[in-house]
Structure 1
């Protein structure tokens, strides 16, 4: 990004947006907030640029085998005709009666964008339950586009932080590249509970799910004791 940027405070000051019946106090506070929002946008761009500039990650060498909706596949198969692959590890292991509501909320939003995402990169959702359970759940949720796969031998989940040492599920997102026939790990989320700030739930950045971004726009913000559920009374 060019460093010859107009200061965020100046861009905020000259913004033409005004809302009906707003007070001078509101406008002053909103202009200060707008400057911070512009800075946040620029910071997101800086972080994305740093991510793109990462040196090559580790070569993928594991015996990763998956069962898809159309049969067995390898990690290489998940790329299809793309050079980049994102895999989300879904907390829906064989001992769970139902999948994680938080993961399900995130994937529900991703379902709506899956066709668009897959124009630019390959996408896969991996869980440790048998594929029959995954496809039944996909049908129940009405998902059409998310490609779901069962981790046949759990090796992928263990190597790329989709399962804890005690066997419990962990949500994770990993991105891989395939260049000149070599598959490498490019990026993976590394924010854990140990990196959480006081008073906040552990979460990554940027967050994938739009739910939290929408709640951040409200006066109430995020309720620290509220999480989405799989179903709501009608």
Structure 2
């Protein structure tokens, strides 16, 4: 018997919830229980997708010698692993055509900076952009980031091969995961959702969603909205 077939139904689990709040009425509790059952199903689907992702066969071996400029000198992709066996690389939209970096990327990375030390206990995390390292460090200091590791893609080769450059030659955000096993570096997974895979009326959001911002807003009656996006600076 599979794990899925042995699970108690989501509706039954929702019925076991003892949560109640002051002054709520029966209509609210019925609707909340129905929603809770859907949330349980969502959690289960997230777990199934994560297991399917972990079970991917080996991806393409990394043969190119990609060069990055860090604060302390040149590195290649193997160097970005440090002593970890898995490497997560985010392609930051802050290339030579931009006076300022992408606000969405910046919002995401601001959240990640607070988690970077925790993430680093299990895997390596690197942020790659096409601006010179001095420019990246200056902006990092402006934002007050402390723990993100930033690197400049000095010849655009990595960004070109792993979708950090759009069809128009401009920046594109990308998330890629690499593994190092038995001395071989392989591509493991990347986000492949974009405008082509977006549902009508929605931004081309990915799944899993990388931005904690949207997770918080999705829990509110205002939601994400249709035309609000984070900014680099806010008045007042």
Q: Same fold (TM over 0.5)?
A: yes
Q: What pairs with 1:37-56 in structure 2 (closer than 5 Å)?
A: 37-56=39-58
Name the SS of the counterpart of 1:73 in structure 2.
strand
* Number of the residue aligned with 1:225: 227
C-alpha deviation, 1:63, in angstroms: 2.1
* Number of the residue aligned with 2:73: 71
Please, which runs of 5 or more residues in structure 2 have no aligned partner? none
* Number of the residue aligned with 2:135: 133
Q: What pairs with 1:2-81 in structure 2 (closer than 5 Å)?
A: 2-3=3-4, 4-81=6-83
C-alpha deviation, 1:36, in angstroms: 0.2
C-alpha deviation, 1:149, in angstroms: 0.1
Q: Deviations over 1:192-221 (max 9, x none)?
A: 101000011111011111111111111121
Please, which runs of 5 or more residues in structure 1 have no aligned partner? none
Aligned residue pairs, count: 234
* Number of the residue aligned with 1:107: 109
C-alpha deviation, 1:166, in angstroms: 2.0
Q: Of the candidates 159, 165, 170, which is equivalent to residue 172 of structure 2?
A: 170
> 162-171 or 120-129, which moves further after superposition?
162-171
For residues 47 and 193 of structure 2, the distance between their equivalents in structure 1, rounded to whole angstroms, comes to 19
For residues 72 and 60 of structure 2, the distance between their equivalents in structure 1, rounded to whole angstroms, comes to 29
List structure 1 runs of 4+ shifted beyond 4 angstroms: none
CA contact (8 A) 2:128 2:153 kept: yes
Question: Normalising by structure 1, what TM-score?
Answer: 0.99
For residues 20 and 166 of structure 2, the distance between their equivalents in structure 1, rounded to whole angstroms, comes to 51
Q: Deviations over 1:21-48 (max 9, x none)?
A: 1110000000000000000000000000
Aligned CA RMSD, in angstroms, stands at 0.8
Q: What pairs with 1:68-217 in structure 2 (closer than 5 Å)?
A: 68-217=70-219
